[in-house]
A and B are shown apart, each in its own frame.
Chain A
Amino acid sequence: MWTLLQIELYKIFRKPRTYIAFGAIAAFILLIQLALLVNGKQYLQFVLGFLDDSFEIPYDKINNGYWICFAILNLLLIHVPILVALVAGDIVSGEANMGTLRLLVSKPISRTQLLLAKFLAAVAYVIVLLTWMALIALGLSIALFGTGDVVVAKAMELHQIEQHDVLWRYFAAFGFAALALVVVASLSLLLSTVSENSIGPIVATVCIIIVCTLISEMQIPLYDKYLKPYLFTTYMLGWKGFFYIGVDDDGQTIRGSVQNASAIFKCIGVLVAYVIGFVTASVLLFRKKDILS
């Protein structure tokens, strides 16, 4: 299995398209960092400015590396699934398209092993991509802007987390994001197993994510009641739960707490179930697949 995984990783990281995601993420993050370096105060005024009448807001202190990383993740984690689909959607269908899949399955290894190796390679890709993202979004932001308390703006609340209570939340959030992106990778894998070319699964994954995200975010009671609970995109935002801090009866924040840990665990459970569902379906389909190309 280890050899199979190594081969699959070699195949992924040999393709130029793999590095599109790394380049896109770096460019996007650097652009945000530059913008916030120059106009950070204005951006914060746009978000929090209406509180100016009631409070003295220390914009310069809020515009720190920790907050900038949160702002980047808020903007970027919606788009990263598209970059994951770019690689994971190609993982089986790409071989079918090139004609190497038939050759591959003729080797003395089970189809299940082969597909699991491909899935694990996609997982490894997700982890490397998120590590890269963490390095630039968090590491570089801290280097450029320093650290400080994080102020998280929700629609109806403002949460402040003290700086020495922040770092573990990022580790947890990136861990959660990895799981969320593995769901995308497994969906792409499923679509990839039933397709003979790469474009189909990639585009289909992107379309599914866009439609599901729209439904999750539209705030329409009909969808909220009957659709939203069943969409994996609803649970992909769970990483933010680590930045919603718990408060005591007096309304003061409790260091090291999250507002609703059970909601995060529920998200993790649902996402794991989706991964198992997609991968199992992929294996079943792949085992019965009539490989002609």
Chain B
Amino acid sequence: MKRSFLWCLAALTVSPLIPRAQTVQQLVEKVKAKIDQVKDYTATGRMKTNVSFLKVPVANVVIYFRKPDQLKIKNEKGISFVPRGAVSINLNNVLSNGAYTVLDAGKDKVNGIAVQVVKLLPVDDNAEVVLSTLYIDEARLVILKSRTTTRDNGSYELEMSYGNYVNYGLPDKILFSFNTKEYKLPKGITFDFDDGAPPPKETAGGKGKKGRAEISIRSYTINKGLSGDVFK
């Protein structure tokens, strides 16, 4: 009797999770299907980099993407310091191979919009990405936020807002947060002029800093074909 009761209790506890797990799997598949419509794109926009030790101007950039995972951010006229993990703005990287386990992580809100939180665990133990957390807008089937933890390059966070290209799952604005290493050069090399400006703020422990890059997309050219040369 006691045993039967425990079985029933266990069944009642687990049963809501079974259809729910299927639902988030389906949700991810739907989001993936939306993103999969885009075989390649060229986007123009402005990139604003905010890192404590970098004094750089706002850059006009061109973003090139080609399936499955080629992505390049270029400043055609000047110099841009593109964060290494910016390649993760291409969510195909996370979703394309399908080799992940989907976990339901509940509901949440991003900028006031209700989202489904989904965790993706790669099947490959040696994959560079260790864990991805996606915040999916179920109504529009787009990812509003993602947090990616990598094996060697720290964690990245993306926040995206959508406009004209929401049907392709392409954002109009991307806010990319990343970790940077401490910047310090010997003064014997730089021969700095001491102009009295305060030094950049140190982070706690001084081991690493958080950087942000904001890309505002002006326009996309989608599925018009792209030469492989632009990715070299």
Contacts and interface: CB of A to CB of B under 8 A. Distances in A.
A30 B188 CA distance: 23
B195 A244 contact: yes
Interface stretch (B108-116, B179-187, B219-227): B179-187
B84 interface: yes
A156 B183 contact: yes
Interface in B154-203: 178-181, 183-197, 199-200
B7 interface: no
A140 B212 CA distance: 38
B55 A245 contact: yes
Interface stretch (A17-25, A147-155, A282-290): A147-155
Interface residues of B, number: 42
B55 A159 contact: yes
Contact of A237 (B48, B56, B83, B193): B193
Contacts of A53: 84, 153, 181
A264 B193 CA distance: 10
A260 B181 contact: no
Given A53-B153, A54-B178, A160-B55, A263 B79 contact: no
Contacts of A50: 181, 183
B183 A158 contact: yes
B231 interface: no
Contacts of A47: 185, 189
Contact of B196 (A251, A255, A263): A263
Interface residues of A, number: 46
Closest 10 CB pairs of A and B: A263-B195, A240-B193, A260-B195, A237-B193, A54-B180, A160-B56, A149-B79, A55-B81, A159-B55, A253-B57
Interface of B: 48, 50-58, 73, 75, 78-84, 153, 178-181, 183-197, 199-200, 211
Given A160-B79, A253-B56, A260-B197, 16 more contacts: A53-B181, A55-B83, A55-B180, A62-B79, A156-B184, A156-B185, A157-B54, A160-B57, A217-B191, A234-B194, A240-B191, A251-B50, A251-B55, A252-B56, A263-B195, A263-B196
6 contacts: A153-B190, A155-B187, A156-B183, A160-B55, A237-B193, A264-B195
